[in-house]
Amino acid sequence: MGWNTLKVLRDRNASLYLGAVLVSGFGDSAMLLAGGIWVKTLTGSNSLAALVAFCMWLPTFAGPAIGTMADRVRRRPLLVATNLALAVVMTAPLAVRSREEVWLLFPVLTLIGAGMVLTNAAETALMAAAVPDELRGDFNGLVRTAIESMKLLAPLAGAGLFTVFGGPAVALLDAVTFVLAAAAFRLILVRETPPRTRAGRAWTTETAEGARYLWRHPVLRSLVLTAGTVMVLSGLSTTATFAMLDGLHRSPAFAGVLTPVQGLGSMAGGLAAGALMRRMPARAFSAAGLALFAVGLLARATPWLPVVLGGTLVLGVGVPWPVIAAMTAVQRETPAELLGRVAATANTLMYAPTGLALLLGTGMVAGFDYRVQILAAGMVGLAVATVLALTGRTTRTVAPVSTQPVSETASES
């Protein structure tokens, strides 16, 4: 752990935000797994159980429009109010006791997904003002580490809590974590510039401004598309996991070993991100992450278990780097008044296509040898990483004067 990482942890705003990420991420991850188990238990339907994750993922497609709200109001009050509202929403599943009431879970989880899209946009914008620029890379690396750590711990806790106390207990846990996150955001000290008056401006017009800014900015566009590529390839290859375990003559339960190995790699990659970003250009850092991911993926196509485990660790290290590079660039290169929309658009480009990749991967694993799928994803990853590295000298365009990034000074409110 480097000196800058310790400085991030000692920074009041950064540590409060990391605390909010930890508690809310714990509750959401626990609910995501327990929700599927809950639906399966009450209905016996695998398709309805899978719909739980789909409901939380679906609002990502509306990210640019939802993110516009984060540019219309001050971000800290919005985060406090949204988390409190989501806490209230999560009390609705307490009434689910039978098959006839299970439908209630689906609109609730869709609302939770929409709230996550909104809070992600507002959080990115708020922390651009609350965390010093020189700590931004280390901060975003720690955020990714916190997210990955919750993915490892929370599902086990959610499944255990469901087994002992039932689904309503997990819903109540998630509601409590939203309240704790709201309290953490309330304690963040930051001076926010009041949003500009937008009388008479259509919502679609404002949404398009964020998407247009990102797409016309060559640095942001390339980094966000690279992050989207690694997420798509990750989704595509994930569907081949159980077929790969068959090829290794291992039981499906062995996936419970692979997931923590990849998670540990991602946590290590997140911790190292800040130091690496200070030593190399963002494009090179992103390309290196995608290349590591691709090499690790190719190792999983071999028939040797130690190589597969090593490759899983390596791809885990590489996965978060393009995402960290993209979000750090979004915070640094985007004007404050556009940051919510641009961040939400970036999240949509990075995460929304993953679901489509899962569908494609499901079809591929049914019709091809799993190694074809893994090798194809790995080769595409290496090709994109090579292109990104070779085009790293692309000249940046300068945003118009009216949309130049502006810095905001963090202070007590």
The tens digit of pLDDT for each residue in 163-180 reads 889 889 999 999 999 999
Listed range (39-53, 96-110, 327-341) with the worst mean pLDDT? 39-53
pLDDT bracket for residue 300 (50, 70, 90): very high
pLDDT at 2 (0 to 100):
55
**Amino acid code (one letter) for 403:** T
If one compares 9 and 88, the residue with the highest pLDDT of the two is 88
410 versus 182: the higher-pLDDT residue is: 182
Q: What is the mean pLDDT of residues 210-226?
A: 93
Provide mean pLDDT across the span 38-56: 84
Return the pLDDT at 258.
83
- Whether 403 has a pLDDT exceeding 70, the answer reads no
| Secondary structure element (H or E) that encloses residue 169, with its range | helix 167-187
Q: What is the pLDDT of residues 323-372, one digit of tens each?
A: 999 999 999 999 988 999 999 999 999 998 887 887 788 788 778 888 98
What are the b/e assignments for 57-71, b being 16+ CB within 10 Å? bbbbebbbbbbbbbb
Please tell me which residue, 81 or 145, carries the higher pLDDT value. Answer: 81
Residue 285: burial class (beta carbons within 10 Å; 0-12, 13-18, 19+): buried
**pLDDT tens profile 112-145:** 999 999 999 999 888 888 888 888 888 888 888 8
Task: Tell me the residue type at 229.
Answer: T
Q: What is the set of domains in the chain, with CATH numbers?
A: 7-190 (1.20.1250.20), 204-393 (1.20.1250.20)
The confidence score (pLDDT) of residue 198 equals 61
CA distance 20 to 3: 23
Say how far apart CA 105 and CA 35 lie, in whole Å: 8
pLDDT at residue 396 is higher than 80: no
pLDDT tier at 200 (50, 70, 90 boundaries)?
low
